[in-house]
Amino acid sequence: MSRNFNVVQAIDKWAVFFYIVLVVFGWINIYGASVSEDQTSIFDMHYRSGMQFMWMGLSFGMALVILFTDSRLITAVPYLLYGLIVLLLIVTVFVAKDIKGSRSWLALGPFSIQPAEFSKFITALALAKLMSHPQFRLKSIQSYAIVCSMILLPMVIIVAQSETGSALVFLSFVFMLYREGLPGLIPALGFCAVVLFVVVIRFGGVALLGFEGSSTGLFIGLLISYIIALVFLRVYQSDRKHLMVLSVVPIGVFAVLLPLYKWVVRFNLVYVMMALCGGAIIYLLVLAFLKWRRTYLFIGLFLLGGFVYCFSAGYIFNSVLQPHQQKRIYVLLGMADDPTGIGYNTAQARIAIGSGGFWGKGFLQGTQTKLKYVPEQDTDFIFCTIGEEWGFVGSAMVLLVYLFFLYRLLFIAERQDNRLARIYGYCVVGIFAFHLFINVGMVIGLVPVIGIPLPFFSYGGSSFLSFTILLFLFLKLDTMRIERVRN
Amino acid sequence: MLDDKYKDRSLVIHIVLAVIIILFIGRLAQLQLYEDYTGIAEDNAFYRKPIYAPRGLIYDRNGKLLVYNQPTYDLMVTMKELRDLSKAGTPIDTLELCGLLGMTYQQFCDRMAYIKDRRKNYGYSQLTPQRFMTQLSPEDYAMLQEHLRKFPGFTIQNRTLRNYNYPCGAHVLGSIGEVSKRQIERDSYYRLGDYAGSDGLELTYEKELRGENGEEILLRDSRGRIQGRYKDGEQDRMPIAGMDITTTLDVDLQMIAEELLQGKIGSIVAIEPATGEILAMASNPTWNPSLLVGRLRSEYYPILQNDSTKPFLNRATGGLYSPGSTFKTLQALVCLEQGGITPSTKFSCSGPNTKPIKCTHHHGSPVSLEEAIQESCNPFFWLTYKTTLERDGYGEGNEKFKANYRRWREDILSFGLGFKWTDSDVFGLKDGAIYRAETYDKIYGKRGWKSLTIRSNSIGQGEVLVTPIQLANAAAVIANNGYYVTPHLNKSDSLLDNRHEANVSRKHYDVVQEGMWRVCEYGTARHYKLPNLAVCGKTGTTDNSHGKPHSIFFGYAPRENPKIAIAVVIENAGFGSQFACPIAMLCIEQYLYREITQEALFNRMKNLVLNSAVKTY
């Protein structure tokens, strides 16, 4: 190992540039969102912008420490760190004080830290270490089991801390798993499940074609499942005959029944759709048995799963989700009016952003955020300040800079010659992207309210420090590639 | 080298990221470019605090200030702040506040409940200051000011109220009151809690007097607390003061007129004939206008409302009376014009035995027109009326008679009677009545009525009804030899264009004027003759169902180049010559000479109580 290797020269300049742009703009907006009349300057340590400046300094220091750490250490310690953080998470559940219903904050002298924030990059590092093992293949049930438990373990503990938002971030590892060979079917099915869920809940109470007691949501849900099944049949099976049968029969049935429904007698069309799905399931299962083909079995089972899922979505919604989570979804779907509770926050967020217009009201000129109409405006809802003061131009720019930043990280990940760095890189992209999408999506009313920070923008020491570590560990791993080339 | 079986998947991830970012930017475009949240945001954050424009002042024709403004203070409350304080465990000391305001705890709670009740207080918002107590005096304000910092959520709003230099003119000047919900809906200028004219000049000239309220844009936070001015007041609007109004009133005459009416029910209207300017318009019972201002208003309003003598009725504009004998002058003019009589026509009169209308005076017979006016001879005017209407006979279906009746009616209307003037700025005018032929058809049947049926009209009784202001205006027509300018109160030149010609030619006035002069010189009004002044007038004594006859006088002075036309009506007083006439003469003297020499007469008339139910407010 040569000692004359210069890490500063080797580090990826573009990634650092985007990082600094985001951090500085974020800091300015924390000042904008939290400024008060007696505040002397952006550096005033009694206020949040000053505190954030301190955290920025601390994080830059941490970044430098990472960059100058012996690279072998980084690849050696992940399992140890993973073990420690899991322990710390468990301890936190019991030790932490209850702050607004969440038990996730550990008091360390004058500061409070959130171990959950640090568990993200540690889990990513441990996963990278595990999956980069030369013998590791993401193929067998065992390999999936190990990976899943590694992800689920901290996730479950964080749920126990009542930090559902942070726990959901672990879902972002799907990005990395997909890149490493997870069948595309699985995220696709996950996506389908979300769509079906939303459809069934949203239109569950709407009577189909005005027929009392029928559920439009159920009908559409079954129809979507049926169509997806047909698509699978088209993609995975070359025999077109059964596809023909399964498409022509429902079309024929509806061609006969719809005029009947309209002019002769009214009946519950949901039952028709159920009958069609049931028929198709039996048809497919019989085919699977006769032809001894797994595809038919799987498609049949998929349809059966969809069938059951559509019926149980309402149940899942009511029994699995907490009332406040149900409310958030209702508000998001526009099904509940809640102008003083959760709906107030999202409505005020929309008003703040919407009133920004094209150019925005100007730095420190935002009335909605200055006057505290938007809740959590310097943490989870910081994007409102951007939207109000910098307008469409500013907020769209932030999103684009983020996109370039993520693209740059993907580019770096792809140029790696060892799997550990690439896997870790995809985890980093996944974590940043998940935070970005959930946070901004929540603020602009496209995603239910889930309290997770916007990286580099939301005020908060733990998250800022952990995001910096997350990023610079990756950039350090990247420099190791050059280090190796040099050697 | 790494196995890169899944390298293509990097592309999929790139696309997914890009799609989501584009979706977000699309949503931002929808929120920030397509939908308009500016108004909602401003409603949130801006408290548009009104800066009330000073209302225009009102002067009399000689530049004497009648109505001006005095400062007052409203105590406002912001509910959200109170609620937040209670939630934080530091509620204000309600009992101490009650003590300062001189109210009981129960009253405090009732007021709070009223403010929060959207059905009563329809503009309620917990973020906007609401009126808790209105019209505090400067003394109360000074006392409260010291303690106000102990009661966050309570603020003071400056207002102005009307004040009056003279205790007169309540009906003419009118008053201001809080705008109603309907007014707000009709005119978007008004905000809840604004004051606007509710009657009289204050209502007629509301748009001119009110000016334009300004506003101060204050920033309020989500808890309703004021956090400063928006852009340092860059977008604030300064109020524009209301226009001052100079009225045509002569306040000295107005004062004398109101004094003379004390203890009586009645009214006096004086007009400058050439211009139609109303010099005085008094109606009794009345009240000191200062009593309906500020906190006294709520005390006196119900009292006045429930007074059986109906002080709120402006009898000068809205009291309907038979003009009685005063109408004979108009009758004479119209019948001369239509050729029913000539200046040399004489009719015989048999005194009290005359049929169908008896004469109430003693004079020779036959009588000429001048003598008839001077002596107020009923039979003369009955015959005049009959001759005029029947001069073409009755004709087929009485149509010829009806045609003449219609012509007679048109000519009477041309003196400004029968309908309220649409080009006047006087509030509360009433129509009066001169019946249509069709109305008589309905009452008596198409052929059921003749001149005999409507004979009372000939002497100004029966169906003829006028208001005192119409009567004064009719006097002005005679004074002007055949025209009037619609009576008005604003001394602005544009109103002088509202000139109306009466349908009686110039040449017919001399004889009637001569008759009216004789009334004051030798006739019924001779007792109160003013030295060296030629007054033309006519008394009237009109029977009515409420007791003694109404005492009426109308006329003008001086005979040459008239300066004042006047009508006086004293309800249930007795003879016109005994009450209305001296009062009119005193007013004429006051206006023409600016002093009253007949002090004994003045005091006697002033202290004369004809109706003991009339109170002085």
Give the pair of three-digit tokens for residue A470.
Answer: 């997350």
Residues of chain B contacting residue A438, judged by C-beta atoms under 8 Å apart: none
Looking at the structure, do residues A127 and A274 belong to the same domain, yes or no? no
Beta bridge partners of B32: none
The answer to whether the CB atoms of B1 and A368 lie below 8 A apart is no
DSSP B456: G
What's the mean pLDDT in B21-34? 93
- Max distance between CA atoms of chain A, in angstroms, equals 88
Give the pair of three-digit tokens for residue B270.
Answer: 């004086």
Residues of chain B contacting residue A354, judged by C-beta atoms under 8 Å apart: 31-32, 35-38, 40-41
Give the pair of three-digit tokens for residue B129.
Answer: 């200051």
Tell me the shortest Cα–Cα distance from A323 to chain B, in angstroms: 25
Report yes or no on A409 lying in a domain: no
Looking at the structure, do residues A132 and A11 belong to the same domain, yes or no? yes
C-beta of residue B32 within 8 angstroms of C-beta of residue B25: no
Tell me the shortest Cα–Cα distance from A189 to chain B, in angstroms: 16
Residues of chain B contacting residue A348, judged by C-beta atoms under 8 Å apart: 44, 222
Residues of chain B contacting residue A417, judged by C-beta atoms under 8 Å apart: 1-2
Q: What is the C-alpha to C-alpha distance for residues A372 and A146, in angstroms, rounded to an integer?
A: 46
Report yes or no on A362 lying in a domain: no
Tell me the shortest Cα–Cα distance from A257 to chain B, in angstroms: 39
| Best A180, A332, A340, A351 residue to mutate vs chain B (most B CBs within 10 Å) | A351
Tell me the shortest Cα–Cα distance from B182 to chain A, in angstroms: 30
pLDDT at A424: 94
Q: Do domains B47-246 and B251-607 have the same CATH topology?
A: no
As averages over each run of 10 residues, the pLDDT of chain A (487 residues) reads: 65 94 93 78 82 92 90 87 94 83 79 88 94 86 92 92 88 92 87 85 75 79 89 83 88 88 83 90 90 86 89 80 78 67 78 89 82 80 92 95 96 90 94 95 87 91 91 91 69
Looking at the structure, do residues A156 and A194 belong to the same domain, yes or no? no
Alpha-carbon torsion angle B367, B373, B379, B380, nearest 10 = 50
Nearest to A368 among B25, B29, B45 (CB): B45
Looking at the structure, do residues A22 and A46 belong to the same domain, yes or no? yes
Looking at the structure, do residues A220 and A305 belong to the same domain, yes or no? yes
In 3-state terms, what secondary structure has residue B151? coil
Q: How many residue pairs bridge chain A and chain B with CB atoms within 8 Å of each other?
A: 123
Looking at the structure, do residues A201 and A301 belong to the same domain, yes or no? yes
Please return the burial class of B570, using the count of CB atoms within 10 Å of its CB with bins 0-12, 13-18 and 19+. Answer: buried
Strand B58-59 relative to strand B245-246, pairing: parallel
Residues of chain B contacting residue A351, judged by C-beta atoms under 8 Å apart: 37, 40-41, 44
The answer to whether the CB atoms of A350 and B37 lie below 8 A apart is yes
Report yes or no on A431 lying in a domain: yes
Q: What is the C-alpha to C-alpha distance for residues A316 and B92, in angstroms, rounded to an integer?
A: 48
| pLDDT tens digits along B574-587 | 888 899 999 999 99
Report yes or no on A383 lying in a domain: no
Interface of B with A in 210-239 (CB under 8 A): 219-223, 227, 230
> Would you tell me how many other CB atoms lie within 10 Å of the CB of residue A411?
15
In the listed set A320, A347, A367, which residue is the last one of a domain according to the structure? A320
The answer to whether the CB atoms of B44 and A351 lie below 8 A apart is yes
Nearest to B6 among A179, A353, A399 (CB): A179
Nearest to A446 among B18, B27, B29 (CB): B27
In the listed set A320, A354, A383, which residue is the last one of a domain according to the structure? A320
pLDDT at A342: 66
- What secondary structure does DSSP assign to A335-388, as a single string? ----TTTHHHHHHHHHHHHHTTTTT-S-TT--HHHHTT-STTTTTTTHHHHHHH
Residues of chain A contacting residue B21, judged by C-beta atoms under 8 Å apart: 399-400, 402-403
CATH class belonging to B47-246? alpha beta
Nearest to B38 among A179, A355, A407 (CB): A355
Q: What is the ipTM of this complex?
A: 0.89
pLDDT at B18: 95
Nearest to A437 among B12, B20, B220 (CB): B20
| Best B31, B44, B48 residue to mutate vs chain A (most A CBs within 10 Å) | B31
The answer to whether the CB atoms of B221 and A372 lie below 8 A apart is yes
| Average pLDDT score, chain B | 90
Residues of chain A contacting residue B1, judged by C-beta atoms under 8 Å apart: 417
Looking at the structure, do residues A234 and A296 belong to the same domain, yes or no? yes
The answer to whether the CB atoms of B45 and A373 lie below 8 A apart is yes
pLDDT at B457: 93
Looking at the structure, do residues A161 and A192 belong to the same domain, yes or no? no
Looking at the structure, do residues A220 and A238 belong to the same domain, yes or no? yes
Report yes or no on A291 lying in a domain: yes
> Would you tell me how many other CB atoms lie within 10 Å of the CB of residue B451?
20
Cis bond before residue B558 (omega within 30° of 0): yes
In the listed set A320, A335, A354, which residue is the last one of a domain according to the structure? A320
The answer to whether the CB atoms of A354 and B32 lie below 8 A apart is yes
Residues of chain B contacting residue A359, judged by C-beta atoms under 8 Å apart: none
Domain with A232, as residue range(s), is 187-320
User: How many residues make up chain A in this entry?
Assistant: 487
Q: Does residue B19 sit at the A interface (CB-CB below 8 Å)?
A: no
Beta bridge partners of B553: B539, B568
pLDDT at A1: 43
Report yes or no on A268 lying in a domain: yes
Which residue of chain A has the CA closest to B27? A444
The residue written with tokens 């007795």 in the block is B574
Residues 6+ apart with CB under 8 A from B487: B269, B271, B276, B277, B278, B421, B424, B426, B469, B472, B473, B476
| pLDDT tens digits along B201-243 | 999 999 999 999 888 888 887 777 777 788 777 888 888 999 9
Looking at the structure, do residues A24 and A94 belong to the same domain, yes or no? yes
Interface of B with A in 29-68 (CB under 8 A): 29, 31-33, 35-38, 40-42, 44-46
In 3-state terms, what secondary structure has residue B4? coil
Pick the CATH number of B251-607 from 3.30.2350.10, 3.90.79.10, 3.40.710.10, 3.30.70.980: 3.40.710.10
Tell me the shortest Cα–Cα distance from B32 to chain A, in angstroms: 4
> Would you tell me how many other CB atoms lie within 10 Å of the CB of residue B99?
13
Domain count, chain A: 2
| Alpha helices by DSSP H, B451-542 | 468-479, 509-521
Which residue of chain B has the CA closest to A413? B10
By percentage, how much of chain B surpasses pLDDT 90?
56
- Residue boundaries of the structural domains of chain B: 47-246, 251-607
| Best B9, B28, B46 residue to mutate vs chain A (most A CBs within 10 Å) | B28
Report yes or no on A285 lying in a domain: yes
C-beta of residue B575 within 8 angstroms of C-beta of residue B551: yes
Which residue of chain B has the CA closest to A357? B32
Looking at the structure, do residues A127 and A166 belong to the same domain, yes or no? yes
- Max distance between CA atoms of chain B, in angstroms, equals 146
Report yes or no on A326 lying in a domain: no
| pLDDT tens digits along B577-614 | 899 999 999 999 999 999 999 999 999 999 999 988 88
The answer to whether the CB atoms of B44 and A371 lie below 8 A apart is yes
Q: What is the C-alpha to C-alpha distance for residues B282 and B259, in angstroms, rounded to an integer?
A: 9
Neighbouring C-alpha atoms within 13 Å toward the C-beta of B580: 38
User: Backbone phi, then psi, for A343, in 5-degree steps?
Assistant: -65, -30
Residues of chain B contacting residue A179, judged by C-beta atoms under 8 Å apart: 6, 9-10, 13
Please give the order of strands across the beta sheet that includes B547-557: B277-284, B266-272, B564-570, B547-557, B536-544
Q: Which candidate, A266, A270, A261, A156, places its Cα nearest to that of A217? A: A270
Tell me the shortest Cα–Cα distance from A401 to chain B, in angstroms: 10
CA distances from A471 to A60, A125, A435, B80, B118 (A): 11, 12, 14, 45, 56
Residues of chain B contacting residue A419, judged by C-beta atoms under 8 Å apart: 2
The answer to whether the CB atoms of A407 and B17 lie below 8 A apart is yes
Q: What is the C-alpha to C-alpha distance for residues B220 and B41, in angstroms, rounded to an integer?
A: 12
Nearest to B10 among A179, A392, A399 (CB): A179
Give the pair of three-digit tokens for residue B174.
Answer: 């009118």
The answer to whether the CB atoms of A357 and B220 lie below 8 A apart is no
Q: What is the C-alpha to C-alpha distance for residues A155 and A89, in angstroms, rounded to an integer?
A: 10
| pLDDT tens digits along B535-575 | 999 999 998 888 899 999 999 989 999 999 999 999 999 88
CA distances from B237 to A11, B44, B331, B603 (A): 58, 19, 59, 54
Residues 6+ apart with CB under 8 A from A109: none
pLDDT at A2: 46
Q: What is the C-alpha to C-alpha distance for residues B446 and B360, in angstroms, rounded to an integer?
A: 33
Tell me the shortest Cα–Cα distance from A179 to chain B, in angstroms: 6
Looking at the structure, do residues A47 and A149 belong to the same domain, yes or no? yes
Neighbouring C-alpha atoms within 13 Å toward the C-beta of A399: 27
Confidence of residue B134 (pLDDT cuts 50, 70, 90): confident
The answer to whether the CB atoms of A184 and B12 lie below 8 A apart is yes
